[in-house]
Structure 1
Amino acid sequence: MMDSNNSTKEEMVSVLKKGDKFYEITTQRKDPKNFEKTMITVYEIFQGQKRIIEEYDTIYELAGSPYKDAIFIN
């Protein structure tokens, strides 16, 4: 019997426009079975390039950040 692949993948959950810049917010679970162990990454999108701006360990840290106005995609 084969074991299922427990690797995690990064998923885009939000796009935010602040001023003339766009930000993409993604999540990636460190443990696929534990929602509380989720890494949130904020990327700045500029001229087709993505660069990491911030990384948060919890959604609560994101809620206190300048990116808290992001609208999350279901």
Structure 2
Amino acid sequence: MFWIWCGLILYALFLAPGKVFTTDPIVQNLLIGNFAEVDPLVVTVFNFLGLFPLLFASLLTPVERGNPPYGHLF
């Protein structure tokens, strides 16, 4: 799974159509935090990219229902 993610990241950085990320002004402004120069919708999607892994992790983390741990001691 790790190698799949690495491959997708490398594809997105170097092989995807469009401008290279080092010369793209939108990506440069997002990475340096100059959000006033970028369309607000692009900034929203960029920020959601950080929230989705947290959401997926919370959904995939098993939740133990029932008695709390060490509940039999009290």
Same fold (TM over 0.5): no
More strand by share: 1
TM-score normalised over the length of structure 1: 0.23
TM-score normalised over the length of structure 2: 0.23
